[in-house]
Structure 1
Amino acid sequence: MNNQHPVNNQIAGGQGPTLTRTERLDRLRFNRAHANLLGRSGVGWALDAMDVGLISYVMVAVGQQWALSSTELSLVGAIGFAGMAVGASLGGLLADRFGRRQVFALTLLVYGLATGASALAGGLAVLIALRFLVGIGLGAELPVASTLVSEYAPKHIRGRVVVALEAFWALGWVMAALLGFFLVPSGDNGWRWALAFGLVPAIYAIVIRLGLPESVRFLESRGRHAEAEEAVRRFEAAGGARPHAEPDSAVAVDDQQPTPGRRATPALGTESIWSKRLRSRTIALWIIWFCINFSYYGAFIWLPQLLVDRGFPMVRSFEYTLIITIAQLPGYLVAAILIEKIGRRSTLAIFLTGSAISAAGFGLAETPTMIIVAGCALSFFNLGAWGALYAIGPEIYPTTARGKGTGAAAAFGRIASILAPLSVPVIIGFGGPVLLFGVFGVAFAIAAIAVLGVPEMRNVELEEGAPTTVGG
């Protein structure tokens, strides 16, 4: 049952069908309002990825300049993910309480300022403390942005739109690779100038706050129906669709009493993500998030340093990493195509399986050609899997739990991203790259199996909420 306030449609002086605001959004084609939302959110997403990716290059430069041990380097890589774990959980809760747009802008401001300040760090302790603050902002942003975009996207292309959002991650990671390749090796302060570039998100937060719409579903869950109606009308006007409500309908939808031609709407309650109905999908989603975080960040945060350890000069290591990073872009493109053709679960399972095979191949690679080919394959499949995963998360929860559900899964995954950078030196010590990437391959395989526990949501309308009688 759809729990939104329906709005009457007057066609040619007669009474037309009754559509909810969700149904009105779902009937639209992709238009300039969707493109604006995707583009603005995507730029924030790319800046997020740039910051996460940049630390892998900074680790190499700082490690050499400050003569850091592998344990100290692993702390630099891991501490940001500890902040992301806190931020992901906190961001989801705040988004459900105060709105997606407000929290999105706040997270950009927090991590932008903290990244800029990191450029001035004079020692390891200060750098670690600032990276933790950066992580809080980064972790809070990702689930909030994907939730907002998912809630506006028409259901027939929702998965593709969210994968397109996730594709901005690849652009940001390429930006990090370019900064790493051209700026970080430029001198003793190259890594500082690269981090100073991270102030851009703080400035962009103003653009986000002024230019993005608030979630219609969030507005309705808070009883702000006039604002929700205005937002839907903007998207209808952008697509050239005739508004489905008369100008005075905003007054009617604000009235909680049933009116002729309108279904009575039950109050929305908050269903726990651990309720009997949602428990199995929550467990499956958490397993996927944990495994993909462990393998992805374990591999890519350490990749430049691992190549240096194999005997490649720093500049050559950064060059190989840049080439491997570019392979993320076609991975997203293929995932965006498949996700609406064969479904979310099949797409995610295929890309996770490909990631498992590629990880094993990278561990066995010895020549530069083999390293680049296996690395590109790992990059292609891994980032395609990320795109499918971000499409799935917001779809499997009702509106009143969507921010919490996606945020909690992301927070649990961040535990793995904390453990991964810390584990790499230990695993390398026991069995070298073969064992390390074998472990990553097993993690990807476990995630592929866990996909079976996630419901298929292709072309299914997002669920609005649970009746007030539903509990956890």
Structure 2
Amino acid sequence: MTKSTASLEHAKASRTQWLITLYAGGGEFCDGYILSIIGVALPLLTAHFVLTPVAAGLLGAASLVGMFFGGLIFGAVTDRFGRQKVYIADLACFVVLSALQFFASEPWQLIVLRTLMGVAVGADLAIAGTIASEFAPQKSRGPLLVVLVTMFSVGAAIAYSVGYFMLALGPEAWRWMLASSAIPALLILTMRLGTPESPRWLLSQGRHEEAESVLKQMLGADATLADIEEPQGSPTGYMTIFRPEYRKRTLFVALFWACQLLPIYAIATYEPAILKQFGLAEGNTAYLGAVIIQIFYVVGSLSGALWINKGRRKLLLWSFAVSALPLLGLAIVAHPPMWLVLVLFAVFGLAMYSGQCLEAIYPSELFPTGVRATANGFATGASRVGAAIGVYGAPLLLAHSVQLTMLVGAVVAGLGWLVTLLLAPETNGMLLTQSSAVSLPSLPRTGAAL
């Protein structure tokens, strides 16, 4: 009798796989939302608490510090205890902590709450790319993870839109802005209930019957463990990702991710303030300008789906190279007209965000099941060092010069291009078992030069 199922890697992406990707992308949505809503709220918080630039930087960077610890710790926890349990628990914490921000009466209280929120989001980011990639077929993995990462941009755009309309609530509108993140978190938590455990992780733990049950749910009643194409004896343990055979990969994913997030987070957090310094200072027009730019960020993220299956390495090289140019232009033009400022920020968003999908793809493809979440968590944590530097340092640079701030962003994007050129492998077209193997198959290294 002919077998009616395709293997997990070769099947077409099903409705269930799309839903799992969207639910996993909820963490990315929350990441973009909380980062951007603090950007809208910070001017109000600064006025309410009379914050210095240093205090504003600490408040803006608090969630990133939490993400650092959340990623480093809970990636390994996820590899040990499973994707699904941590996947639910971190969102539940996020709902409670978001709501508590409404009642803050001192800046230190907000810093503590946003640090703890960051821990929860950092844990979620370590899981999101891992669980989505482990369910995704090979040909659909790139586009599916593009959708997952695009949720960050969608969250940021919605946060700016919500914040813009909440400005009408008055000087303490920041309370409603910050607490509003509890609503999408609760919605995402509700949708995630009932999400199956990763069959790859179950198999790596010797839980064969449970893994086969999930495969039958995904592929049909004829599915067997042979359809998972998962090798036995996947390495485990935190230090695995620092072994000689994985060390270069670990360095690469941490560095390129940090180089993406430093300018992204710095600009997203202080976009209204940056636009005001460029001359968009009448009323709330700076906030409206930020909303418009965020739309281009969403389009940029989605555009990654057009290029991701043409070469991971090539896409990342072009993303860094093109995104550096508009920031350089904003740094060297003394008094640019407002239309040019908006156009250059739009080009930056289209270019930088088109390669952001690789934050989920590369760590998931370069490491085996036993340490995949650990690697994702380490990359999440390490990259937030770059993001925290950007968020903490941006107000200090802006106090000196907006042009200097843009120049630093351009330099960081250039550094990301160099890291990619020297360290990035090509994993396009490979099964997870191939791309995560110690020795990658000999495929052409596309995009060796520009």
| TM-score with structure 1 setting the length | 0.85
Give yes or no for the alignment of 1:194 onto 2:177. Answer: yes
Q: Distance in 2 between matches of 1:109 and 1:314?
A: 37
Percent identity of equivalent pairs = 26
For the structure 1 residues 313 and 114, does the alpha-carbon distance in structure 2 shift closer, same or farther, using more than 3 Å as the test?
Answer: farther
Structure 2: 5+ residue runs without aligned partners?
A: 439-450
2:414 equivalent among 445, 452, 467: 445
| TM-score with structure 2 setting the length | 0.89
2:98 equivalent among 100, 104, 115: 115
Give yes or no for the alignment of 1:167 onto 2:137. Answer: no
Give yes or no for the alignment of 1:68 onto 2:51. Answer: yes
Letter in 1 for 2:351: F
Aligned to 2:186: 203
Give the conservation status (yes or no) of the 8 Å contact 2:293–2:342.
Answer: yes
Q: How many residues are paired up? A: 429
CA RMSD of aligned residues (A): 2.4
Give the conservation status (yes or no) of the 8 Å contact 2:230–2:433.
Answer: no
Aligned to 2:444: none
1:302-352 Cα deviation digits (max 9, x unpaired) = 111223345514511100000000001221222111011x21111111111
Letter in 2 for 1:351: S
Deviates more, 1:130-139 or 1:102-111: 102-111
Aligned to 1:257: none
Give the conservation status (yes or no) of the 8 Å contact 1:44–1:204.
Answer: no
Letter in 1 for 2:350: F
Deviates more, 1:208-217 or 1:144-153: 208-217
Letter in 2 for 1:283: L
Q: Distance in 2 between matches of 1:316 and 1:369?
A: 13
Aligned to 2:262: 294
For the structure 1 residues 204 and 429, does the alpha-carbon distance in structure 2 shift closer, same or farther, using more than 3 Å as the test?
Answer: closer
Q: Which runs of structure 2 are paired with 1:123-142 in the superposition (5 Å)?
A: 123-142=106-125
Give yes or no for the alignment of 1:370 onto 2:311. Answer: no
Give yes or no for the alignment of 1:338 onto 2:317. Answer: no
Give the conservation status (yes or no) of the 8 Å contact 2:200–2:230.
Answer: no
Query: How many angstroms does 1:149 deviate by?
Result: 0.4
1:138 counterpart SS class:
helix
Aligned to 1:258: none
Query: Structure 1 or 2: larger helix share?
Result: 2
Q: Which runs of structure 2 are paired with 1:38-437 in the superposition (5 Å)?
A: 38-204=21-187, 206-237=189-220, 243-245=222-224, 266-270=232-236, 272-310=240-278, 312-313=281-282, 315-340=284-309, 342-363=310-331, 364=333, 366-430=336-400, 432-437=401-406
For the structure 1 residues 203 and 421, does the alpha-carbon distance in structure 2 shift closer, same or farther, using more than 3 Å as the test?
Answer: closer
Query: How many angstroms does 1:265 deviate by?
Result: 7.0
Q: Distance in 2 between matches of 1:294 and 1:329?
A: 18
Query: How many angstroms does 1:226 deviate by?
Result: 0.9
Aligned to 1:256: none
Give the conservation status (yes or no) of the 8 Å contact 2:278–2:338.
Answer: no
Q: Distance in 2 between matches of 1:67 and 1:125?
A: 13
Query: How many angstroms does 1:136 deviate by?
Result: 0.8
Q: Distance in 1 between matches of 2:172 and 2:344?
A: 33
2:138 counterpart SS class:
coil
1:25 counterpart SS class:
coil
Q: Distance in 1 between matches of 2:159 and 2:189?
A: 23
Q: Distance in 2 between matches of 1:148 and 1:301?
A: 28
For the structure 1 residues 266 and 234, does the alpha-carbon distance in structure 2 shift closer, same or farther, using more than 3 Å as the test?
Answer: closer
Structure 1: 5+ residue runs without aligned partners?
A: 1-10, 254-262, 468-472
Aligned to 2:448: none
Give the conservation status (yes or no) of the 8 Å contact 1:294–1:443.
Answer: yes
Q: Distance in 2 between matches of 1:184 and 1:138?
A: 26
Query: How many angstroms does 1:34 deviate by?
Result: 1.2
Give the conservation status (yes or no) of the 8 Å contact 1:348–1:389.
Answer: no
Aligned to 1:4: none
Aligned to 2:447: none
The structure that has the greater radius of gyration is: 1
For the structure 1 residues 91 and 313, does the alpha-carbon distance in structure 2 shift closer, same or farther, using more than 3 Å as the test?
Answer: farther
Give the conservation status (yes or no) of the 8 Å contact 1:268–1:466.
Answer: no
1:232 counterpart SS class:
helix
Give the conservation status (yes or no) of the 8 Å contact 1:55–1:301.
Answer: yes
